[in-house]
Copies of this chain bind each other. A is one copy, B any other.
Amino acid sequence: MNGAQAVIRTLVAGGVDVCFANPGTSEMHFVAALDDVPEMRAVLTLFEGVATGAADGYARMAGRPAATLLHLGPGLGNGVANLHNASRAGVPLVDVVGDHALAHKRLDAPLESDIDAIAGAVSGWVRRSLATAAVGEDAADAVAAAQVAPGQVATLVLPADVSWSDGAEVAEVPDRRPAALVPPAALDEVAGVLGESTVLFLAGDAVTEEGLLAAAQVAAGTGARLIASTFPTRMARGAGVPDVPRLSYPPQAAMQELAGTEHLVLVGAKEPVAFFAYPDLPGRLAPVGCAVHALSRPDEDGVAALRELAERVAPDAVPAVAALRRPPLPTGALTPATMAAVVGALLPEGAIVVDEALTSGTHLHAATAGAPRHDWLTLTGGAIGAGLPLATGAAVACPDRPVVSLQADGSAMYTVQALWTQAREQLDVTTVICDNGAYAILEGELQNVGARSGGERAGRLLDLGSPDLDFVALATGMGVPATRATSAEELAEQFAAALAEPGPHLIDAVLRPAD
C-alpha cells in the first residue's frame, strides 16, 4: 500500500472519516486513494478557508476531528484564518498539507514555501512525514495529537513521494485520553469564595448542557452569578437549559457586567480581556482588586469539577432553566431586533445556530433564550469569515439537524465560496445575511479607538456600498436558492419556507439601522 492509502486508512481507523479538501498536484495520490477507501468522505471546497472552517464546525458538532487536505504553503496560508479560529476554539483538527517530494525541495521550484513556519503559527502539533514506512504512524500521531484535551490543530506535512511510494502500513490510533481532573485544591479554593460577589466565568465544556446545569445549581445555592465567555466554541441553549448571558464584546459594557465582582472563577475559560486595546481603557476586564481563581483550565474536566462543586456547596439547589417561551412574530421594519424576533419565533428544535452576525446580532440572545433546545457556535478566535464554513461543517456532522447561519455581510465575503459546497453536498443550512451594507463593527471601532472619524476617505473603507453586494445573485451563482427580505413579515415567511425545505437556502435580510 502506498503512503496516501496508509494515511487515509489510518485516519479512518482513528475515527477521522471526513476530509474537507482543496487538493493540488502534490496531493493527487491522496485524491486517487480516496477511491480505495470509501469509508473516507471527501468534501470539495473552492477555497482553503472554507475547508479549515468547515473542519472546525464539523469538530464542534461531531466531537471528533475532520481532516483537511491543503496544497503547500499558499494553500495552508489561505486556511490560516480559520485554523486560527479552530485553534482558539480548542477543537480537534487534523490538518494535512501536501508538499513537494523530498528531493524536489532543494530545487526551489516556484511553489517551494516554508510550510513549517506557517503551520507552526496556528497548530499545537506539527510534523513533516519523512518516510513512507512511518507515514501511518505519523498519521496516527496526528489524530492523537489533535485530540489532546480540549482539542488542537495537528498539522501533518505530507511530501508527495512519501504519499506515492509503496511500503506504508496502517497504524493504530491510541484511545483518546480523557481530560484531566482538576486538583482538589482548586475545588477547595473555589468553594471558599462562592457568594453574591462571585462570578463563575464559563467557556469550553462548562457551557455544554451538563456544565451549565451544574453551574446553575452552584449559582442557585450560593448566589454566585454566571457569565459565559463572549465567543464560546459551542454553547447549549434554549428551553430546559440555564440561560446564561455571554460577556459583551465592547469592553466598556463587559466591564460594567463584571463590576462589583470580588472573585472571578474561571471554568474552562481564560481570564476575560478586551479583544483589542483602546487608548485609556485597561485590557483586563475584571475590576481592579478582583481575585481571579481557576476552577478548571481549558484542558481539564470542567463538567466534573462543576458537578463536584455543586454537590459540595449546593446539594439541594435546583438550577434555574429557561422556560419554553418564544417572542411573537414581529411585523414592520426589518431591523436587528425584528430579525432576532423572527429567529426566536421560528427556530426549530435541535437547531445548530452559527452566529457571525456581529453588530446585527445584539438582540439574538434574548430572543432565542426560550426557543426549543439548540446549540450556538460563535467566532471564537475573532477572525471573520468563519460563519459560512462553520455552518457547512456542522451540517456535514449533523445531517439530521437544521443549521441556521446568521452572517454579517462584510464577513460573509471572506469565505463566500462555502455556499457552493453547501449546494454540492445539499446541506440543510439556512443562511441569513445581516445586510447593513457596511463593516458596521469597524464604524464603532473607529470611534472606540479614539480615532478622529467622519472623514470621507476613512468612511469609504468601512462602507460596503458603491456597488451594493447582491447576495441573492451570489448565492444563486453558486447553486443556493436565495431570496431577499425587506420587512419582518418577508423574513418570517422566507425563513419558515427555507426551514421547511431540505438543502441550503440563503435569505438576504436587508436591515435598517440598529434600533
Contacts and interface: CB of A to CB of B under 8 A. Distances in A.
Interface of A: 21, 23-26, 28-29, 31-32, 34-35, 38, 42, 44, 46-47, 49, 72-81, 83-85, 88, 100-101, 103-104, 107-111, 113-114, 117-118, 120-122, 160-161, 164, 231, 270, 273-277, 279, 283-284, 380-383, 385, 410, 413-414, 416-417, 420, 423-424, 441-442, 445-446, 448-453, 455-458, 460-462, 464, 466-474, 476-479
Quick one: which of A77, A120, A276 has the most chain B CB within 10 A?
A77
A274 B74 contact: no
Contacts of A80: 73-74, 76-78, 80, 118
A108 B81 CA distance: 16
B121 A113 contact: yes
A31 B416 contact: no
Given A38-B457, A103-B283, A467-B420, A31 B74 contact: no
14 contacts: A25-B441, A29-B449, A34-B461, A35-B452, A49-B78, A73-B80, A74-B382, A77-B83, A88-B110, A101-B276, A107-B273, A109-B274, A164-B279, A474-B477
A413 B47 contact: yes
A120 B114 contact: yes
B449 A160 contact: yes
A472 B478 CA distance: 11
Contact of A32 (B111, B416, B451, B460): B451
Nearest to A80: B77
A277 B111 CA distance: 11
A274 to B, nearest CB: 7
A456 B35 contact: yes
A119 B284 CA distance: 28
Contacts of A466: 424
Contact of A46 (B46, B274, B410): B410
A79 B279 CA distance: 28
B455 A35 contact: yes
Top 9 A-B residue pairs of the complex, sorted by shortest distance between their CB atoms: A77-B80, A467-B479, A35-B455, A473-B477, A74-B383, A101-B277, A32-B451, A74-B81, A104-B277
A347 B441 CA distance: 44
A274 B471 CA distance: 41
A111 B275 contact: yes
A466 B44 CA distance: 11
A382 B88 CA distance: 31
